[in-house]
Amino acid sequence: MKSMRISLAKMFLDIGDVLHSMFSGLWPGIIWALTFVSGLIAPAWPPFAAVCVLVVIDIRTGRQAARHRGEEMNSKAMRRSVGKIASYFYLMAAAFIMDEIFLKGLPVEKPILYLASILCAAVEFKSISENVQTVTGVNLWSKVKDRILPNTSKKSDE
């Protein structure tokens, strides 16, 4: 019995050493947190990746539009981008958690996550189209809207 207590105590001390080494500095803690988050969202990576790609495209086109308008790029604009990325991540992570906890047995896989990612993607596409319109004068949003909803922008003869 005493040897079992000693082995349990050694095991807990070993676990304590591992936890201490994980959080003993800034980088180990950051790496551990990133590993945890990436493991959490790994099953849902396609919508997260798609929204991240759209955010990168939006940042690039936004910089081009600002340059075209003669505005100077500053940290305030980049801070807004970081806040927007974080908001998208929070929304999509919450949707993923809702899907995993409350909607596990549905025939459609992760419906709230995909709806949230479509919402984020639509906002990003609208922003990208505004930036492209600033640079080129072409309104992508109205062209896409005319393709998707052809009767809304033109009056019918009936």
Dump pLDDT digits (tens) for 44-82: 888 989 999 999 999 999 989 988 988 887 777 778 888
- Mean of the per-residue pLDDT values for the chain? 82
Q: What tens digit of pLDDT does each residue of 6-49 get? A: 777 777 677 767 666 666 667 777 777 778 877 777 888 889 89
Q: Where are the domains of the chain?
A: 42-148
**Separation between Cα atoms, residue 80 and residue 127, nearest integer Å:** 13
Residues 51/117, Cβ–Cβ less than 8 Å: yes
**How far is C-alpha 93 from the chain's CA centre?**
8
Q: Residue 142 corresponds to which tokens in the numbers above?
A: 């109205």
Residue 122 binned pLDDT confidence (cut-offs 50, 70, 90): very high
Please check the confidence at residue 96 and state whether its pLDDT lies above 80. yes
pLDDT at 12: 67
pLDDT at 45: 86
Q: What share of the chain is helix, strand, coil (3-state, %, to 5)?
A: 80, 0, 20
Residue of 91, 83, 76 whose CA lies nearest to 121: 91
**Separation between Cα atoms, residue 111 and residue 96, nearest integer Å:** 9
Q: Residue 45 corresponds to which tokens in the numbers above?
A: 């990576």
- DSSP, res 130: H
Q: Please tell me the least confidently modeled range out of 27-31, 76-80, 90-94, 104-108.
A: 27-31
Residue of 95, 90, 88 whose CA lies nearest to 55: 88
